Amino acid sequence: MRTRVEVAPGGTLGDYVPFYFAPCSPMLLTYIDGNVTGQQEYQDEIIYLVSNAEYISERGLRFVFTDGHPITEPKAFYNDLADIGEVDFSIMSGRLWYNTNDDPDRKRRRQAEFLVHESFPWDCIRGIGVLTNATQELVEHAMDQGSHKPPCVIRPGWYYPNKGKRR
């Protein structure tokens, strides 16, 4: 809540709806390892809400994005999609995001965020990813009465294998 966003529309991180650029985030691992709530959590309770930076921009939503973790230095904020190349997409698809001797800044960069100012309209969700059939059924049932029903697909590759699953 205290971290200032250094480009327009400004404010603090608490004024934004955050999105990661890729699944299997360090935050998901921290969560399922129990480091957020103090107890083991289950990945099948997590769903991915998927959107698209270009679509968000076309809709006129105000946004910023970072080149890495938005609190950890060094950090940079951007508000123009022309700068999207500042995000290191080469590490986003991999599951290995920890620092190495050759790349001591990898973990910070892997935590880059796309931040939408103030609120995020439901109809900007382009898809939903889930781990299990049971979660897919719950999500689809929750959307039954709504007018916007983004596709909900099972994406086990978006989750950590053999971690934080109900048995």
Q: Which of 25-34, 111-120, 124-133, 142-151 has the lowest mean pLDDT?
A: 25-34
Q: Report the percent of the chain where pLDDT is more than 90.
A: 77
Domain count, the chain: 1
Domain interval for residue 20: 13-119
Q: Which pLDDT does position 165 carry in this prediction?
A: 62
User: Quick check: is 2 in a domain?
Assistant: no
Residues 82-92: tens digit of each pLDDT: 999 999 999 99
User: Quick check: is 5 in a domain?
Assistant: no
User: Quick check: is 35 in a domain?
Assistant: yes
Residues 54-74: tens digit of each pLDDT: 999 999 999 999 999 999 999
Per DSSP, which regions of 10-136 are E strands?
16-20, 48-50, 63-66, 77-78, 113-117, 127-130
User: Quick check: is 26 in a domain?
Assistant: yes
Residues 79-135: tens digit of each pLDDT: 999 999 999 999 998 777 789 999 999 999 999 999 999 999 999 999 999 999 999
Beta bridge partners of 128: 49, 152
User: Quick check: is 149 in a domain?
Assistant: no
What is the longest distance spanned by two Cα atoms in the chain?
52
Question: Is it the case that residue 167 has pLDDT exceeding 60?
Answer: no
Residue whose C-alpha is closest to residue 92's, from 76, 109, 77, 69: 109
User: Quick check: is 67 in a domain?
Assistant: yes
User: Quick check: is 56 in a domain?
Assistant: yes
H or E element that contains 56: helix 53-58
User: Quick check: is 84 in a domain?
Assistant: yes
pTM of the model: 0.91
